[in-house]
Amino acid sequence: MKYLVLIPDGLADWKCEELGNRTPLEYASPENMNYLAREGICGVARTIPQGFEPGSDIANLTILGIDPKKYYTGRGPIEALSMGVDGRIFFRCNLVYVENGVMVDYSGNRIGDRESREVFRALEKEKPYEFIHFHHGVSFRGILSFSREFDEIPKTSAPHDIMGERFERYLPERNDLGMILVELMEWSRDVLRDIGSKANMIWPWSGGKKPEFPEFREKYGMRGSMISEVDLLRGIGKGLRMDVVEVEGMTAYIDTNYRGIARAVLKELKRKDFVLLHTEGIDEVGHEGDAEKKAEAIIMYDERILGYLLDRIDLDGTKILLIPDHATPVKLRTHTSEPVPFAIKDGRRDDVRVFSESACKMGKLGLIDGLNLMEILLRI
C-alpha cells in the first residue's frame, strides 16, 4: 500500500461577503477535492495545539504525528536544518516593507528570488558583528544565524500577523539577544536603502536551537519523501530523515511549476511507501487578502496537481489524505487556529459529498486531534 498526504497550505477560510457568503473553497467547488470527499471519509482536525501560534511549522508537525510540545524549538531552526546552516541559534529572517511605522508587506513588496539573493549577500558583507550570518532561502525568506550562545531566546512576532499594524509594538523582547535583533533591524534599513531594494527592512522571528526529531522510518516503519516549496517543510523532512525532493521552477506562489511538482510526486510514489506534498501558493494569496484570487488559486491546485495525480496513480493501491495545515482567512490576511477540514480516501465512505469547511464537520470522523491523523491514515 502507498500513502499520499496532500497539504495545500492555508486552504481553509471563513465565509466572504464578496463570494456570496461562501468560503473561497465553497465558492471554487473544486471537482477533484469533492471527489475525494465523496469517495472517502471526512472530518475536521485540530492541527494547532492549545498554547501554540497557528503557524505551518506547528501544524505540519502535528499532521505528521510529531508532538510540538515535545519537539518544537522554533521556525528558524527548522529552516536552518533545510538549508544546512551551521550555528548555535537561528531566526527566520524576512525581507519586509514598512512605511510610516506600519508593516505594509511581510514579503518585501513580493521581492523576487534573484533580487533577494543580492540583498542577503549585501547584508552578510556589511554585517556589524562577526558572530552573525545572513543566509538566503527562497524569495523574501532567509535565516539569521548566531555562532555564539545567549542565555535567553527573545519572544518575537511573525510579520504576516501584524500587517497594517505599527511594527514598533511588535519588536523583539528586550533581553540581550533581543536588543541585538532590534539593532540589526534598524541597521538593515540603511543597507537596503543604499542598494535600492524593494524591501526596506529585515524582520527576524521564531528563533531557537536545532531540534532533535524522531526518525520517520523508525516511527512508522516505512520510507518517506517530502516535497515542498519552502525551507520550513524541507527542514521538517530533513529533521525526520525523510528524503527531501526539490523541483526546478517551484516558486512558493501560484505561478509555480505545477506539472513538475505533480510529476515528482508520481516518481516518488514509485520509489517510496509514503509521500507528502506541501504547496504554498494558496496560503500566499490568502495573505494578500483577495478572496476571488484565492478561489482561483484553489481551482489551479485542484486541476493542475490533484486532478493530474488522480488520473495517474493507482487509486486502489494508494491511500490519500487531503488536508490544509491551517486556515488563512482573507479577511484577516493571517493564520488562525480553528480545526481544518480533511478527507481520507482509503475504501471507507460517509455521507459527505463536497470538500469544504462546513461539510467536513458532518463527516463520520468528526473532530479529531491532528496528532492522530497518521494513525487513522495508516490504521496503526
Whether residue 32 sits in one domain with residue 179? no
Strand order in the sheet with 224-228: 243-245, 224-228, 274-279, 2-8, 318-322, 340-345, 41-46, 366-369
Whether residue 243 sits in one domain with residue 124? no
pLDDT score, position 138: 85
Q: Dihedrals φ, ψ of 185, to 5°?
A: -65, -45
Nearest-CA neighbor of 205 among 329, 91, 85?
91
Residue with cell 467547488: 29
Whether residue 172 sits in one domain with residue 204? yes
| C-alpha to C-alpha distances, 215 to 69, 141, 333, 367, 370, nearest whole angstrom | 17, 27, 34, 28, 19
Whether residue 371 sits in one domain with residue 256? yes
What would the pLDDT profile of 50-81 be if each residue is shown by its tens digit? 999 999 999 999 999 999 999 999 999 999 99
Amino acid at 122: A
Please tell me the total number of residues recorded for the chain in this structure: 380
pLDDT band with cut points at 50, 70 and 90 for residue 197? very high
Q: What is the DSSP string of 189-222?
A: HHHHHHTT-S--EEEEEEEEPPP-PPPHHHHHSS
3-state secondary structure at position 248: coil
**Alpha carbons 325 and 356: distance in angstroms, whole number:** 14
Whether residue 246 sits in one domain with residue 301? yes
Whether residue 321 sits in one domain with residue 244? yes
The residue from 169, 192, 208 where one domain ends is: 208
pLDDT band with cut points at 50, 70 and 90 for residue 380? low
Amino acid at 146: F
pLDDT score, position 309: 98
What would the pLDDT profile of 332-376 be if each residue is shown by its tens digit? 999 999 999 999 999 999 999 999 999 999 999 999 999 999 999
What would the pLDDT profile of 7-42 be if each residue is shown by its tens digit? 999 999 999 999 999 999 999 999 999 999 999 999
Total structural domains within the chain: 2
Whether residue 201 sits in one domain with residue 302? no
Dihedral of CA atoms 26, 254, 216, 158 in degrees, nearest 10, equals -90
pLDDT at 99 over 70: yes
pLDDT band with cut points at 50, 70 and 90 for residue 379? confident
Helix residue spans in the chain (DSSP H): 24-28, 31-39, 56-63, 68-71, 75-83, 113-126, 176-194, 216-220, 231-239, 258-271, 281-288, 291-301, 308-310, 357-360, 373-378
- Across 132-139, average pLDDT: 94
Cell of 330: 482573507
Whether residue 343 sits in one domain with residue 235? yes
- Find the CATH number of the domain harbouring 303: 3.40.720.10
pLDDT score, position 20: 97
Whether residue 285 sits in one domain with residue 184? no
The residue from 208, 231, 248 where one domain ends is: 208
Whether residue 94 sits in one domain with residue 25? no
What is the rounded average pLDDT for all residues in the chain? 96
What would the pLDDT profile of 241-253 be if each residue is shown by its tens digit? 999 999 999 999 9
The residue from 208, 234, 260 where one domain ends is: 208
Neighbours of 263 (CB within 10 A): 15
Whether residue 235 sits in one domain with residue 143? no
**Alpha carbons 228 and 117: distance in angstroms, whole number:** 20
For residue 129, the enclosing domain spans 78-208
Whether residue 99 sits in one domain with residue 68? no
pLDDT at 235 over 70: yes
